[in-house]
Structure 1
Amino acid sequence: MPRFEVKQSAKLNLTSYSGLALIGQCCQAAQVEAVIDPRLPVSQGMRTSDLVKSMVGLLSLGKSDFEAIEPFRSDRFFKEALGLAKVPGSVWMRQRLDARAAELRELTDELSLRLLERTEAPITAHKGYVCADMDTFVMDNSDTKKEAVSRTYQGVDGYTPIALYLGNEGWNLGLELRAGSHHSALETEYFFERVFPRLERVCAADAKVLWRADSGFDSARLLFALAAERERWAGLERSFDYLTKWNPRRQDKAAWVARAEAAGVFEEVRAGKRVGLLDLQVERAWKKAKRTLRLVVRVTERTIDKKGQHLLAPEIEIEGWWTSLDVPMADVIELYKHHGTHEQFHSEIKTDLDLERLPSGKFDTNDAVVHLAAFAYNCLRLIGQLGLTGELSPIRHPAKRRRIKTVLQEVMYRAAKFVEHARRLVLDFGRGVAAHVKVFTTVQARLCVVASP
């Protein structure tokens, strides 16, 4: 086993996260300075946009703690890559975010919209529909005394943020922090008010948008809001439909079996198992208004389990979906199955961005960090879609979407020599990485086209 001589050069400047240069290009494409600084000016000291870009840079490297900024304060590449006048310290970053958290939350959502619009990010459809998937998820912050940490539906102490993802790529159009005990449907109509205009703005005029949500959002108030939004889009000659899973809430399962038998819809799919589909028109009321909504119900009765064991009593399962779609029942169910893909996006935010445990004890500051994380997530997703899919990808297997962890490994943490010479900034990747250099140059060229103000 050879023994290596360890040497530290005084002149050689290396970086292990060259992909940060692309994050800087994304910030320029999203016009961070133009969006942030006029609304949050400072009389002296560091610009607010520098604070935002520094935090986004940390998050795009999978670092969420304020203290993680300290090693970068003397790093020339970090400063140049993000276009910073000065790199903030951890204390300064924490204090500034505490002071301006409320204003930042509103402005950071605009950054994601501008990034998607100006780069013409691909938004692909599933079975003809551009799907907008809404859901809540749990951030485990147990054993902390952070503001609004409380018991979640998964039985841990933490937060339950709400998120909206668009298209097969999973672009994030809304990510907002909520207290752990906050019910999914509580005050969600206000989330609707914020994200509906974003959908209208980002989606193509001829796109058929399908809103999908699970049974936690089975509320007359929310269904009425979706139906009203569908009518508004129809007035604009645009397509908007919704698909929300039904929450049975103490339904009599035997009565539903009898109803399916009376309708003659049962089909035996195997010995001891039969399935029936019902297409119903159900009237629901909210305050003084009433609407007739379509409900697709699937009733499943098992008298023999999948291993061939006869059951003493029939096992009955009922599922349902509220929808405005005018398609066959089987297509409604198939379209909802794809909704489960969004669980991966939750995982990427919590694990790949290291955002499971939030850095501050203050709720508003943590909410601002979550909003900034949504922008960092979209930057990384854009880099992955432009550089790590199709013929350009150096990855072995083909894919329609690369997860954030792959972008971090293949692009963000690519090592290079950083050179400053003749007023030029150069990243030298060395030999043996031609495919990755091609990815870097292609993505940078795409971003530079729209980087001008």
Structure 2
Amino acid sequence: MDFMVNTTTERLNSTGGMALVGKILEKISFCTRTGVTKPKHPHVLKSIIGLFTQGRTRFEEIDMIRNDSFFRDSFDLRYVPAKETIRLYLEHMISERTLIDSEIETAVITLLKSTTLTPITIANRTYLPVDIDTSPMDNSKSHKEGVSRTYKQFDGYHPIFCYVGQEGYMLNTELREGKQHCQKGTPDFLKHTMDMISKLDSKAPLLFRFDGGNDSKDILSMLDKSGHFFIVKRNLRKELSEYWLAVAQGKEQSLLKMNQKRCIPEFIPEKNLHRMNLFRQ
């Protein structure tokens, strides 16, 4: 195939998508809301966001776009700070971490409220899925604080995430040490996540979904008291799988008698069984 190659006097930018990111920040009034205390160094936060949206995770990489006027204008910055400046201001921000966290959470809530969260349908019932799980990240050969051996047998972090809707929009996250067990700190994370979700004003009932690593008394108690629907994969530990198979089959027979139809144990369509641990055959 022949290709036509033309020259141009126009300036081409590999960071063209930053214009959209900047407009989104402008729309949700990131660090510009009136009547509230704002972070002292919004230009640093915006620069970090710009790096993250390009898939760059090290603040030192800001030097690659230091002289990029398009990046600067996209985020309405007077200048793109140097890596030394970002390091200095990030250290200063430690004292106002609560304020910054609040600003970011407000931005997330505002952004999610402006979009459509698609629910799922199970047995003719509609639920808004809320998925919470950890995901080890490979940071091998890194000497960053908190990097340690994960259960995946590599060195890295072990953060926890919360996603909502079929789209999987991220609602909440927390950076954790690689060696930290997935259950440690999760009850507090769940409580905070529930507080955030309540601000979304979702019309559909919530369906929380957890993996077996969070099959604990603390999590189940919180979910049950919350009044929300939930599915938690059973962690058998030392229990016999044959026992739980018998439980599931017995429950199936009970539902069969009441509804005169076969019910798949993996889902819970009967109204009296809408909050329970999920047992997989």
- TM-score for both structures, normalised by structure 1: 0.51
Q: CA shift at 1:28, angstroms?
A: 0.7
Alignment counterpart, residue 140 of structure 1, candidates 131, 138, 141: 138
| Equivalent in the alignment of 1:252 | 240
The AA in structure 2 aligned to 1:130 is: L
Q: Distance in 1 between matches of 2:48 and 2:191?
A: 27
Name the SS for the 2:199 alignment partner: helix
Greater shift, 191-200 or 99-108, is seen at: 99-108
8 Å contact kept, 2:151–2:179: yes
In the aligned structure 2, how far is the partner of 1:66 from the partner of 1:183?
28
Match of 2:110 in 1: 114
Match of 2:258 in 1: none
Q: Number of aligned residue pairs: give it.
A: 263
Give 2:55's aligned residue. 62
CA separation of 1:188 and 1:6: change in aligned 2, threshold 3 A: same
The structure with the greater share of residues assigned to strand is 1
Q: Secondary structure at the match of 1:15?
A: coil
SS in structure 2 at match of 1:129: strand
Equivalent-residue separation in structure 1 for 2:270 and 2:174 (angstroms): 28
In the alignment, is the contact (CA less than 8 A) between 1:153 and 1:181 conserved in 2?
Answer: yes
- Taking CA–CA contacts closer than 8 Å with sequence separation of 6 or more, which of the two structures ends up with the larger relative contact order? 1
Q: Secondary structure of the residue that 1:175 maps to in structure 2?
A: strand
Pair 1:5–1:202, CA change in 2 (3 A): closer
| Corresponding position of 2:208 | 211
Alignment of 1:88 with 2:81, yes or no, is yes
Aligned partner of 2:118 in structure 1 is 124
CA distance in 1, matches of 2:270, 2:88: 49
For the Cα contact (< 8 Å) 2:212–2:234, is it kept in 1?
A: yes
C-alpha change, 1:250 and 1:30, in structure 2 (3 Å) is same
Q: Deviations over 1:51-104 (max 9, x none)?
A: 111111121122222232223222221111111122111111122123314343
- TM-score when normalising by structure 2: 0.80
Aligned to 2:71: 78
How many percent of aligned residue pairs carry the same amino acid?
Answer: 28
Q: Secondary structure at the match of 2:271?
A: coil
After TM superposition, the structure 1 = structure 2 runs for residues 249-398 of structure 1, keeping only pairs within 5 Å, are 249-255=237-243, 259=246, 265=249, 277=252, 326=271
Query: Which range moves more in the overlay, 22-31 or 106-115?
Result: 106-115
Q: Does 1:164 align with 2:159?
A: no
Q: 1:162 to 1:325 in 2, by over 3 A?
A: farther
For 1:204-237, what per-residue CA distance to the aligned partner results, in whole angstroms no more than 9, with x for missing partners?
A: 2x3111111111111101111111211xxxxxxx
Given residue 103 of structure 2, which amino acid in structure 1 is its aligned partner?
Answer: L
Classify 1:13/1:328 alpha carbon distance in 2 versus 1 (closer, same or farther; 3 Å). same
How many angstroms does 1:279 deviate by? Answer: 7.4
Runs of at least 5 residues in structure 1 that lack an aligned partner in the other structure? 42-47, 231-239, 267-275, 281-295, 299-319, 337-453
CA distance in 2, matches of 1:218, 1:279: 25
Describe the SS at the equivalent of 2:220.
helix
1:38 aligned residue = 37
Q: Which residue of 2 aligns with 1:222?
A: 219
Whether the aligned pair in 2 keeps the contact of 1:278 and 1:297 (CA below 8 Å) is no
Counterpart-to-counterpart distance in 2, 1:278 and 1:57: 56
1:19–1:252 distance in 2 versus 1, CA, 3 Å: closer
SS in 1 for 2:31: helix
Shift of 1:324: 11
**Cα pair 2:158 2:180 within 8 Å, conserved:** yes
Q: Which residue identity is paired with 1:149?
A: V
Alpha-carbon spacing, 1:243–1:5, altered in 2? closer, same or farther (3 Å):
closer
Q: Distance in 1 between matches of 2:17 and 2:169?
A: 20
Whether the 8 Å CA contact 2:118–2:166 is kept in 1: the answer is yes
RMSD over equivalenced CA pairs, Å: 3.6
Tell me the residue number matched to 1:242. 230
The alpha-carbon deviation at position 141 of structure 1 amounts to 1.3
Structure 2 residue matching 1:95: 3-state secondary structure: helix
Matches of 2:270 and 2:46, distance apart in 1: 42
2: CA distance, partners of 1:68 / 1:191: 31
Aligned equivalent of 1:53, options 42, 46, 60? 46
**CA 1:38 to 1:94, structure 2 compared with 1: closer, same or farther past 3 Å?**
same
Shift of 1:121: 0.4
5+ residue gaps, structure 2: 256-262
Q: Which residue of 2 aligns with 1:179?
A: 177
Q: For the residues of structure 2 that align with 1:279 and 1:155, how far apart are their CA atoms?
A: 44
